[in-house]
């Protein structure tokens, strides 16, 4: 594994420097091995940044930057959305959630429609905000839709711990948190997409550390490069992958040394492990991935909303014509979905990839990606 360190006193304007960007693009073109090379940016924030800076247009012919399942809202299956809507319609229940979840379509409606129909649905900046609400409104049941990867999971774990510390009985969680590494293992074995390198997520890597990707390199011989979100960050990551592909190498490289360490945030990892345990979980478009989700440990099971309200998750297909599943796997580009830009737009989304601020369809639509 390699680590690229950035001095703390350096001028961070360099990460948008036009000359630096030009030089990196020239290096990518110079060392490009030719043919088809598929690089998957796992993180939805990378997808948005690549679109906003127009970086796809700077790539050599044959180099394809593919969006992966890095949007937590997008990979949340319809079964979770429908369960949340079912709970929202119960008397005395308050649904709390991050803003992106409001407009994700369920089978019949979304949470935004539920709120318009009179349900108590509240958008939070932090799950911890629910604690104060639950203490001041003890006659109501507060349920948080817990989605996210390792980036947001520690904060949710802390909220569970605080609820238990205060003895709150009127809070619970629909647990739909997901783990990145099990998903990468499944994608690495997929027969319908050939991935030559992973641009690994910066935010998640702050928590899990760049050492976590060594298993992907060891088992599947696929380069893994952790990158930040500025133009230079992303291009540095792409260049590292291109070099490895050209040389027939596969290594873990960290180009985001100003934020990511090999071991990650050990305190955050400890907090997650105290509250959650790995469980088999459904991913939209991929199916059940063993030990890829997080469920509450037995000592915190009283905060499991599905158990508390006796709600069963029921399999529900995506809307007719929606290709979000194939897009999340990197099999299709957003523009290859027949609904993209016609029936499915940000103001009238059919699938979650057009809803979320990290959704690949939303990025392609907003920035005119082709």
- The share of the chain scoring above pLDDT 70, in percent, equals 96
**Residue 274, domain member (yes or no):** yes
Instruction: Dump pLDDT digits (tens) for 171-223.
Output: 999 999 999 999 999 999 998 889 999 999 999 999 999 999 999 999 999 99
Taking residues 145-173, what's their average pLDDT? 97
- Phi/psi class of residue 252: alpha, beta or left (left: φ > 0; alpha: ψ in -120 to 50)? beta
Instruction: Dump pLDDT digits (tens) for 234-276.
Output: 999 999 999 999 999 999 999 999 999 999 999 999 999 999 9
Range of the domain at 347: 325-367
Same domain assignment for residues 174 and 80: yes
**Residue 9, domain member (yes or no):** no
Strand partners, 177: 148
Same domain assignment for residues 164 and 276: yes
User: Residue 278: which CATH number?
Assistant: 3.40.50.11740
Same domain assignment for residues 135 and 201: no
CA distances from 163 to 26, 173, 303, 356 (A): 53, 11, 9, 28
**Residue 259, domain member (yes or no):** no
Same domain assignment for residues 224 and 344: no
Instruction: Dump pLDDT digits (tens) for 263-272.
Output: 999 999 999 9
Please give the pLDDT value at position 369: 67
Lowest-pLDDT range of 9-18, 238-247, 327-336, 361-370: 9-18
Same domain assignment for residues 132 and 268: yes
- The share of the chain scoring above pLDDT 90, in percent, equals 90
**Residue 314, domain member (yes or no):** no
**Residue 232, domain member (yes or no):** yes
Q: Name 121's Cβ contacts closer than 8 Å, sequence gap at least 6.
A: 88, 94, 95, 96, 97, 102, 111, 112, 114, 115
User: Residue 234: which CATH number?
Assistant: 3.40.50.11750
Instruction: Dump pLDDT digits (tens) for 14-51.
Output: 788 899 999 999 999 999 999 999 999 999 999 999 99
Same domain assignment for residues 220 and 333: no
**Residue 5, domain member (yes or no):** no
**Residue 273, domain member (yes or no):** yes
Instruction: Dump pLDDT digits (tens) for 302-319.
Output: 999 999 999 999 988 888
Q: How far is Cα 130 from Cα 140, in angstroms, rounded to an integer? A: 12
Instruction: Dump pLDDT digits (tens) for 68-81.
Output: 998 999 999 999 99
Please give the pLDDT value at position 193: 87
Please give the pLDDT value at position 62: 96
Same domain assignment for residues 184 and 168: no
Place of tokens 């060891």: 218
Same domain assignment for residues 166 and 282: yes
Q: At residue 2, does pLDDT exceed 60?
A: no
Same domain assignment for residues 87 and 166: yes
Binned at pLDDT 50, 70 and 90, residue 6 comes out as: very low
Taking residues 115-140, what's their average pLDDT? 96
Same domain assignment for residues 244 and 293: no
**Residue 147, domain member (yes or no):** yes
Taking residues 141-146, what's their average pLDDT? 98
Please give the pLDDT value at position 12: 60
Same domain assignment for residues 226 and 85: no
**In total, how many domains does the chain have?**
3
Same domain assignment for residues 138 and 31: no
- Phi/psi class of residue 76: alpha, beta or left (left: φ > 0; alpha: ψ in -120 to 50)? beta
Averaged pLDDT of the chain: 93
């Amino acid at each position: 594994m390699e680590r690229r360190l950035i001095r703390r006193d350096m001028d961070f304007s360099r990460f948008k420097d036009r000359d630096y960007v030009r030089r990196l693009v020239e290096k990518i073109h110079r060392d490009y091995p030719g043919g088809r090379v598929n690089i998957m940016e796992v993180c939805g924030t990378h997808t948005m940044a690549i679109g906003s800076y127009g970086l796809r247009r700077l790539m050599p012919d044959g180099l394809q930057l593919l969006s992966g399942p890095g949007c937590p809202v997008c990979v949340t299956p319809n079964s979770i959305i429908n369960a949340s809507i079912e709970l929202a319609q119960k008397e005395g229940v308050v649904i709390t959630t991050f803003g992106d979840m409001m407009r994700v379509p369920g089978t019949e409606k979304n949470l935004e429609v539920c709120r318009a129909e009179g349900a108590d649905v509240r958008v939070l900046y932090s799950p911890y905000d629910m604690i104060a609400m639950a203490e001041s409104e003890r006659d109501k049941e507060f349920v948080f839709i817990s989605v996210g990867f390792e980036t947001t999971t520690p904060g949710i774990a802390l909220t569970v711990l605080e609820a238990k510390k205060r003895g709150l009985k009127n809070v619970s969680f629909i647990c739909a948190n997901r783990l990145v590494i099990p998903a990468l293992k499944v994608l690495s074995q997929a027969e319908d997409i050939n991935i030559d390198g992973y641009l690994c997520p910066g935010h998640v890597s702050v928590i899990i550390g760049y050492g976590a990707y060594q298993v992907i390199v060891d088992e599947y011989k696929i380069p893994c490069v952790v990158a930040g979100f500025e133009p230079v960050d992303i291009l540095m990551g792409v260049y590292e992958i291109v070099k490895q592909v050209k040389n027939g190498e596969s290594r873990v490289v960290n180009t985001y040394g100003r934020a990511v360490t090999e071991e990650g945030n050990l305190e955050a990892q400890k907090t997650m492990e105290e509250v959650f345990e790995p469980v088999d979980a459904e991913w939209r478009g991929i199916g059940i991935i063993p030990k890829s989700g997080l469920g509450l440990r037995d000592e915190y099971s009283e905060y499991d909303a599905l158990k508390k309200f006796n709600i069963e998750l029921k399999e529900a297909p995506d809307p007719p014509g929606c290709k979000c599943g194939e897009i999340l796997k990197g099999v299709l580009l957003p523009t290859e979905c027949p609904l993209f830009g016609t029936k499915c737009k940000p103001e009238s989304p059919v699938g979650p990839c057009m809803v979320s601020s990290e959704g690949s369809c939303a990025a392609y639509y907003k920035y005119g990606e082709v």
